[in-house]
Structure 1
Amino acid sequence: MNLESLLDHPDLGLEVHVPPEDPKRPVRYVHTTDHPDPSRYLSGGELVLTGLLWWRPERAEAFVAALARAGAVALGTGVTEAGEVPAELVAACFRHGVPLFEVPRGVSFASVTEHVVLGAARTRARAGEGVPDLATAVANAATALEGGCWVLSPTGRVVAGTTSAPPIGLRQGLVRRFLEATRLPLTVRGPGHLPHTVAEASVTGTRALDWFLAVQGEQERWTSHQRHLVDVLAVAAANEQSARDSARRAAARVPLERAADGFARPDELCVLSASADKATPDVAAAVLAELAETLGLAAVVTEVDEEVFAVLGVRRNRRDRVLDELVELARLLERGFGDARVAIGVGGVTDAAGLPTSVEQARNARLVAERRDCRAGVQDGVQLGAFHTLLVGVPDDQRAAFRRWVLGPVLDYDAEHQSDLVHTLRVFLACSGSWTRAAEKLHVHVNTLRYRVGRVEELTGRDLSSLAAQVDLVLALELGSA
């Protein structure tokens, strides 16, 4: 796809602020960033999209100069809180000859990315010949390449493919390379396995939602005909994913109170709640749908007042295993969330009548997970203490002030002496003040534990044999993580 066809696309409504000198220049790749110096991630020919989170007037010149040096095709941007593209940015783009356009509020960066990638793929696939269905495209590519060919989801789930699926270890390795890659396709050479080429199949704007291709062999050795069939496969996969996403969005209109209607066992349901900051609710919904499908669970994903929930069919004796699997999948996917942070809360297993309780457990757990410093966090709502429900509504400044008042001297002591009194305190309180159990968990002698707890008492001025003091310290510890 060239720049002119993108800027003139009627469905996007892009507003050009700095017109291109060469409208026919091809767009090779799309890179979304809010880094003040993105040049290290560019190699030339990219369309750069930015939400302006990096924006400061004094940074405009350096940001645009970096794009020009790296050979970026154009810059697409959102608007500031004032609702406009900054004049300093427009002026810098004029000076450096970088075309600049504005993405309307109603158009996501993912939509722009999809138009570019699919447009380029369709050009390579000789759009006039038509694109077959996914199963046919897989078979054609595999025959031409004389090897295995698979469409994989970002969790390693096999969407389509020929021959037996790659071993789970190999698939997870391919997923990691795909999620971490700055440029595709790439050839992955693992010990004990044939080389595989990892290529894009769809681009949503969030790598952790994209399907991708895993093909046996090295793409550097493909003939033009083989490369063409892989391009056709990429388009077929993108078409299939788009169709499934459309079906999921239609299903998301189901009211939450009716979500249990279609389950074979409405007496064993579990609710998940998810959010994705710096992204639309649809990202959180797509994540929940992918997780449910990977786990092989029946699910209804729905959005209620911009909150995203999934009702899953989960047997009571399997819930803990499902929770562990969700944690592992979240760790795998977090490499592909970019600047977004995804939080997931898990409610308890209940019947249809108890669904509101599971919803509240999942929501409160999600709010706790949102406060964690990680790309993708999962929190068990059943394990939350009652006080967690109260803590999630406490403003950040009040949380910090209380934590500092109670634990400040201990935090300072740990920082100065490279000690870990806070961890010792957390374990001691989690063991309900049992010296023996806490010492065993910490792998220290009881006398050592008594010394450390004594230091905490001295620093905080609190007697840990007092229930009131224990409550204060538990709350201060939880305010640092809840």
Structure 2
Amino acid sequence: MPATVRDLVGERQLGLRVRAGEDALDRPVTWVHVSELTDPTPFLEGGELLLTTGLTMSGGSDLAGFVRRFVDSGGAALGFGTGLSHQEVPEGLVEAAEAAGLPLVEVPRPTPFIAISKSVSAALAADAYAEVTTTNSARQELTKAALATSGRAGVVRRLARLLDGWVLLLDSTGEVLHAAPSAASRRVAEVSGEVDRLRARRGPASSSFSLGAEQVSAQTLGDRSRAYLVVGRSRPLGRTDQHVLSSAAALLTLVVAGSQDHGDTLWHLRTALMRLILAGRPEAARETAAQVFGPLPEEPVRVVALAGEPAALRAAVELLAAPPRGTRWFVAEVDGYVLVVTPAETGDHERIPGRVGDLHLGVSEPAGYAAAEQAHRQAVRAAGAARRTGAGVLRFSELARQGLLGLVPRAEAEAFAESLLAPVLRHDGTGRGDLLGSLREWLRQHGQWDPAAARLGVHRHTLRNRIGKVAELTGADLDSPDTRAELWLALQQLDPG
């Protein structure tokens, strides 16, 4: 737990003295901020212990307003240093803090503000370390439970103990697969409405809600055959609890297919772990991935997306599941693409095309796991463009060099161009003038009449008449930059010259 005001007051070497708000000393302190501003609240986020020597406070200061603004900003407590600007804490400040229920502590002259900052910082570091060790220990316990003969039942029981609450694992119809403790199965009727709402959504979904005095979290498990994990307890889940729950959800994805074979189960686990990676949470996937599939690649990494027919994608996962000797990558199928996370600096991704058949690959730019979602988007866009254009491998960095037309299938681009320019093509086909060439030169000169007319060797009034005819035939607003861009792309598709 983070340090509280009471913890700081209890540190004798700091010598802090409570002047107001003694009933609220158990408030957690998220940070220490020092300020002598008359209103420091724009620079606060909430939960801070604000330290000040009252440099700007005088007999005419609005101390009640100062306290009110600080409380409204979510501040945890106020520390007032005496012996500098003030020999004692202003009585008006004490009264205002007491009235607002705000903890106010006096910081004696011998105690430097930095000593308080160091104390809070040390407590936060210890809290973070405890969170990491607790989460890792919980993941190990859950993994052992998942691999034991009790399987999903063991994971449910262990999760209930770790979270000090109750847990339900429901099948796709909402029937109980496992409950811990067993009495939790009686809560199915109470949570069925929320499970129905999750069932109606596409893709992964979750929700948090109250059930009497309890806080409940529900989420979907799996893609092909859904299940539901519901957890409840008398207090909200903390950050460590959320990590533990995510780990359990990833492991329980193993069993959402029920009677499917072991290979299908591992398929689901790969997908669940990949979703955690793409969400920028590799730490939640790392432990399980290492025990079942091997360590995740070191960052920076590239994400490679493979696009193609479903049967070919399934075969690709099986081929890529065992990397060649000396390589390390992690592969799974997500949302219709096979995704491979591979080290960016080793060039392992260059070995993928030789191991798959008629698939189209999109390769992201190097990225850390924190930016995995962006790398995923890059790879999917590149793979989509590769599939449309028939390319075998396409890097995201190459998309811009292809131009916009390179992202569109040629047949569709030609149909668009011919449809947009059909009236102009018919006109020119009668031999009554070169409207197409005039339009091209006018657009190339950015709509400037004199340079375009000079290039065409006609009078500018003649050019105006031709462009006016184009507007009449197409019904387009040639003053619109969107229209000009579409016409230019259509002209480029018909004849790049």
TM-score range, shorter chain: under 0.3
Q: TM-score, normalised by structure 2?
A: 0.27
Higher relative CO (Cα under 8 Å, sequence separation at least 6) belongs to 1
Instruction: Give the structure with higher Rg (CA).
Output: 2
